[in-house]
Amino acid sequence: MFFVPLAGYFFDFQSVLGITAVYHLSSNMSKIALFRQGVDKKLIFSMGIPAILGVIAGALLSKYVASSILETALAVFLVLLSVVMLVFRNLSLKPVTSVAAGGGVLSGFLAGLLGTGGAVRGIVLAAFRLPVKTFIATSAIIDMGIDMSRSVVYYTNGYIHTDDMYLIPILLVVSILGSYTGKKILEHVSEERFRTLTLLLVLLTGVVTLYKQFS
């Protein structure tokens, strides 16, 4: 969620989408390795397959929408999502298959079009009240399917450039350190405090990205 708007300061938006897909692949591998104690197989299928269909559609559409529009849409999405979740703290969805499928399509579509859909996926998965490690592992496996699918589409769209591949080992190291650090933080910080801090950072990222677009 943070990587896409931040990387936008250094690369064009389409390149950011390509780099993000590669970065997420390495990040998800490290998450799966660290939180492999359990996954929810039912959610992987009921949410994961619709998410893959959604991300393919979003990734294909991204080729035909101006980068400036996509960046602005991403910033607005981050601001609105963080504000809604900060104000309506008890917001939750019903833990049913139709919600999982719908959330999968939406999160996948946003990931393909804007580069990030993890927040939507997190809201939907939260409705099923999974243990923390199961939540992270299940989300990572679904995200792996999303990133593998959009990587193929981004490559055919010309978003993945050979001169950006030097970032892969760097991002791999960063993702492993980030996942390990996150695991340690979760052991000492309450979920509510962690959630609030994350949402405030999301809000700040969205506001800064909007400022960048209109300044």
> What does the alpha-carbon distance between residue 112 and residue 20 come to, in Å, rounded to a whole number?
10
Report yes or no: 64 and 97 within 8 Å, Cβ to Cβ.
no
Report yes or no: 113 and 59 within 8 Å, Cβ to Cβ.
yes
- How many domains are there within the chain? 1
- Could you report the per-residue pLDDT of 100-122, keeping only the tens digit for each? 999 899 989 988 888 878 778 88
pLDDT value of residue 114? 83
- Could you report the per-residue pLDDT of 57-105, keeping only the tens digit for each? 999 999 898 878 887 887 888 788 788 878 887 776 788 899 999 989 9
Taking the whole predicted model, whether its pTM rises above 0.85 is answered as no
Residues contacting 4, CB < 8 A, separation 6+ = 16, 17, 20, 74, 114, 115, 116
Alpha carbons within 13 angstroms on the beta-carbon side of residue 139 total 25
- Could you report the per-residue pLDDT of 126-184, keeping only the tens digit for each? 788 887 778 878 888 888 889 889 888 988 888 877 776 777 677 777 767 776 777 67
pLDDT value of residue 59? 92
Domain with 141, as residue range(s), is 3-214
